[in-house]
A and B are shown apart, each in its own frame.
Chain A
Amino acid sequence: MAKKNRTPLFDRIFKPEHIVLDNGHTVDRPKSRTPLILVAFLIIVFISMQTTNFNLPRLISRIGQFPVILGQIFTPNLHYFDKVIPLLIETMKMSIVGTVVGCIIGLPLAILASSNINKNKPTLLICRFILSILRSIPTLIYATVFALIFNLGAFAGTAAIAIFTLSIVAKMLYEAIETIDMGPFEAMQSFGATTLQSFWTACMPQILPQYFDNCLYCFEMNVRASSILGYVGAGGLGILIRERTGYRQYHDLGTILLTLFVVVWAIDQLNNWIRSKLS
């Protein structure tokens, strides 16, 4: 019991200010903790600078290179566009197939991972564990591994995107499933439907808009992600990005980035339009 009322260590070192009012009532104003937090913060920043070899003079002396490269990127070499197109199409194919496959596999996993539908604790926990492992691995790692397993090329990238999509979609979806109205599900159970029948008929209409929304969001992310996967040899625009930065052809890189920007923007607009139709 005595432990509960013990004054914090900080207040025992830095004694609170004792204020006495005119009428004799007293109150303790604890010393501000801000200076201590500030000191701790500065120490952390200093240690981080040491370990990352941050060098301010070099930053200042080399900053002049920044506008040079940016300038080249912002004056894209439009003749290079012809070479971008085929790989852009490959990137799009990878993200479309990867997203569709991931979203389809993600759905049953989401159902298994919803505590209100799946009453079987072991399968629930195993399913969630697998999902969190899948989610914690970056797409680039999947792409590297799959490129080794399935050979270099678009297939490895597609598989990487599919795995990543399913882990994200399943996570977002099971959280949606856990917040739905379970009344219709209960009604279905009461007249003899199986868990799966009840889920499909009573719960699916409730989560469908959210599900499509998640799928579209993933597609948007995947277009961006898949353009970088070529960096590790998994097909798509990334191959060109690596090659052009390697040759320091920043005008060409500018063309690639410009194309990518236009495509991502277009997809974003398309998604917004579909979303407005869904709700």
Chain B
Amino acid sequence: MIEFKDVSKTYPNGTKGLQHVNLKIEQGEFLAIIGLSGAGKSTLIRTINRMIDITDGQLMVDGVDVMTLKGKELRKFRRKIGMIFQSFNLVSRSTVIKNVLSSDVPDMPWYKTMFGIYSKEQKIKALEALDKVNILEKAYSRCDELSGGQQQRVALARTLNQNPSIILADEPVASLDPIIADIVMSDFARINKDLNISILINIHHVDLALKYATRVIGIRNGEIVYDGPTSEVTQEVLNLVYMGKAVPKSTDKIEIEGMVMNNG
């Protein structure tokens, strides 16, 4: 369970990333966080694994006060939180399987890390993770030979390989085309159901958020302006989140593409 208690984050330059955020997220929820660029979505997600320090309030993750962690404890804590990035953040010169195996590195002795020696069990586990996201056949290709969608699935496999209980995804589909984005989102949804992993996704595609998430958080200027089930997200809610600017109707287009998907 993740619990934000009156959390605020002010950056050194005075920018307010988060303001008095109160949130409670149960294990196994699929959250979509929507809002304009710069509204604080990335800040919100990154405070959970403390890639960003909060400046006020208290943040509890599975009963641990995140801000009390340091050094080794923090790294151990981060082992159970997966993270997915917009730009995939894979070592593009390395093979797919090496990237997946890299999430085993924190638990390995230094000499094995140094020479990149992985055990048979680790390799099998990594291949299984790749299989879960349907990209097993690319295991021994170099990452830069893969398309964006494939690379994001490799990143997802790398995260699964660390057996996380929470996955934080920062704009995971923003650099993908609508069809691939839909596939990657359905991967998230499947993982969320099958493995009961909590998933928090920052997303600009409102239609995809509504299609897959179970709960939506709307954030504006660092404040939470909507928090509720996906089914209750109305046009008014979206207007509130996006400061009264109408959300362009990309929804229609996506539905057409969704049909193509179903047919194919």
Chain A residues with CB under 8 Å of chain B are 181, 183-184, 186-194, 196-197, 200-202, 205-206
Contact = CB atoms under 8 A, between A and B. Distances in A.
B91 A191 contact: no
Most buried by B among A191, A205, A206: A191
Contacts of B116: 201
Interface in B65-110: 74-79, 81-83, 85, 87-94, 99, 102-103, 105-106, 110
Contact of A192 (B75, B93, B110, B168): B75
Contacts of A187: 83, 85, 89-90, 155, 158
Contacts of A188: 102, 105
20 contacts: A181-B92, A183-B87, A183-B90, A186-B85, A187-B83, A187-B85, A187-B158, A188-B102, A190-B49, A190-B83, A191-B78, A192-B78, A192-B106, A193-B105, A197-B113, A200-B114, A201-B105, A202-B91, A202-B102, A206-B93
Task: Please classify the interface of chain B as helix (H, G, I), strand (E, B), loop, or mixed, using the class held by over half of its residues.
Answer: mixed
Contacts of A183: 85, 87-90
B15 to A, nearest CB: 20
Contact of A193 (B91, B94, B106): B106
A200 B113 contact: yes
Given A200-B113, A201-B113, A191 B87 contact: no
B51 A189 contact: yes
B192 interface: no
Contacts of B202: none
A206 B91 contact: yes
B198 interface: no
B159 interface: yes
Given A192-B78, A197-B106, A184 B113 contact: no
Contacts of A205: 91, 93-94
A201 to B, nearest CB: 5
Contacts of B74: 192
A201 B75 contact: no
Contacts of B113: 197, 200-201
